[in-house]
Amino acid sequence: MIRIFSVVFFCMMSAVSLAQPLTANQLFLKLRARLDAVKDYEADVSMKIDIPFIKVPRLKGKLYFKAPDKMKLERNGGISILPRNGVNLTMNNLVPNADAAVIDAGKGILNGKEVRLIKVIPANEQDPIILTKIWVDENKILALRTETTTRDNGTVKMDLDYGRFEKVGLPDKVQFQMDVKDFKLPKGVTMDYDGDTKPAAQKATAGGRKKGRIEIDYQDYKVNKGIPDKVFAEKRQ
């Protein structure tokens, strides 16, 4: 009888142990590990850039990414677009590395889903990121929203929708929101100004802070196939 009771007690304690929620730091490390597992990808994308005072046509083409911070959009027709300094909008760049301080900010609801909010502060004081807030789906270990405050490029908010590529931790759609006064268009993006020739950053400063948005729809991914560095080299005109 005592032996049976011991076995039952052990099983109960094991179940309780397994049911223990992750600490904020454990949750962040699992999320960061999922990001780090994606070494590179090539994706067919459609991109919409919505910035006050500037008209930018919808861009379609292939988006290339290679960890930790290489990115390029090759538009249909062969024109390449390379991000300017500080405008590499990838999860890898907007979420601090694993050696960061993590604060548990509790639970909440985001778009009808229960999420855990964690705040992440880089350990390196010279890191371009000051603070990142991450709304995490604990069951799937997926970031549904991030809000990153940087030293030189303002605050960038990112909302992510998952579907077909959820198993590899990659979104079907991402929407970025940022302050126009801190935003610089990538090299290679053609644009028309609405009405006058002042840059959007100057207009935003004069008329208050304005928000810019970028939406990226991913039609397909090729993940961890190996992308050579020469793909990201800037071609001389």
CA distances from 187 to 6, 73, 106, 168 (A): 68, 10, 40, 30
Report yes or no on 1 lying in a domain.
no
Report yes or no on 187 lying in a domain.
yes
- Please tell me the predicted confidence (pLDDT) of residue 92: 80
Please state, rounded to an integer, the average pLDDT across all residues of the chain. 80
Range of the domain at 122: 21-222
Report yes or no on 53 lying in a domain.
yes
Report yes or no on 126 lying in a domain.
yes
The more confident residue out of 88 and 105 is 105
- Please tell me the predicted confidence (pLDDT) of residue 52: 77
CB 212, CB 189: distance < 8 Å: no
Report yes or no on 231 lying in a domain.
no
Band (pLDDT 50/70/90 cuts) for residue 191 is very low
CB 129, CB 148: distance < 8 Å: yes
The more confident residue out of 214 and 185 is 214
CA distance 150 to 126: 11
- Please tell me the predicted confidence (pLDDT) of residue 69: 85
Both structure tokens of 126: 């010279």
CATH number at residue 103: 2.50.20
CA distance 54 to 202: 12
Report yes or no on 6 lying in a domain.
no
- Please tell me the predicted confidence (pLDDT) of residue 187: 53
- What is the three-class DSSP state of 119? strand
Band (pLDDT 50/70/90 cuts) for residue 8 is very low
Query: How many domains is the chain partitioned into structurally?
Result: 1
Report yes or no on 84 lying in a domain.
yes
CA distance 113 to 111: 6
Report yes or no on 63 lying in a domain.
yes
Both structure tokens of 68: 């930790």
Beta pairing, strands 100-110 & 129-137: unpaired
Listed range (48-57, 171-180, 204-213, 218-227) with the worst mean pLDDT: 204-213
